[in-house]
Amino acid sequence: MRKLAVFDNITLDGFFTAANGDFTWAKGHMDPEFNAFVEQNAQGKGELLFGRVTYQLMMSYWPTPMAAKNDPVVAERMNNLSKIVFSRTLDKATWKNTRLIKDDVVEAVSRMKQESGDSMVILGSGRIVSQLAAAGLIDEYQIVLNPVALGTGRTLFDGVKQKLSLKLSQTRAFSNGSIFLRYEPAA
């Protein structure tokens, strides 16, 4: 059985994007220590899962010469890992090693979790996260709490109607003020 994790940044006031969808605030706290953590975290195997908006955003940066120059380790992993984009509106997925799934995300991920293979990680993709969280399909939440408040925006769990009980399994504080939090569903 495959495991499914989420890796996302949030603000102190609980938002993962600004009201207009912008998340450049998450890049404002990058420093050598945090960059090394991101590079190490990117070393694992697995398959990346995206919704359409996050997929298009990631595809606009990671295959570029700028990404290869600024973030060579992460760019190599992002471009070479297997990726899935869930979208009912895209006609094709053109980023290297990406396949498009137009099926219901909950049904598709339920099937994928039953298969053998590497773990899966959702990056960004708040609508996908909230649907899969509500369905109890996420095995681990990796959250980077950033020292910034936006005042308004979208939470990672918009649309979740039932309480999610989680237990903390790891923390790490960074000198830039960010805190990494790893949660698993409570038994």
Separation of alpha carbons 155 and 17, rounded Å? 7
From the number of C-beta atoms within 10 Å of its C-beta (0-12, 13-18, 19+), residue 120 rates as buried
- Between 43 and 131, whose confidence is greater? 131
Q: Tens of pLDDT along 52-79?
A: 999 999 999 999 999 999 888 889 989 9
Residue 44 scores a pLDDT above 80 = no
Please, which residues have CB within 8 angstroms of residue 172's CB and are 6 or more apart in sequence? 37, 179, 180
pTM, to two decimals:
0.91
Residue 21 pLDDT grade (very low, low, confident, very high; cuts 50, 70, 90): confident
The CATH number covering residue 167 comes to: 3.40.430.10
Report helix, strand or coil for 49. Answer: strand
Total structural domains in the chain?
A: 1
Give the residue numbers spanning the domain of 64: 4-185
Give CA 2 to chain center in angstroms. 17
Q: Tens of pLDDT along 123-140?
A: 988 899 999 999 999 999
**Cα angle value 44/34/149 (rounded, 5°):** 115
* Section 77-83 average pLDDT: 94
Residue 42: the pLDDT is 64
Separation of alpha carbons 84 and 71, rounded Å? 22
Residue 43 scores a pLDDT above 70 = no
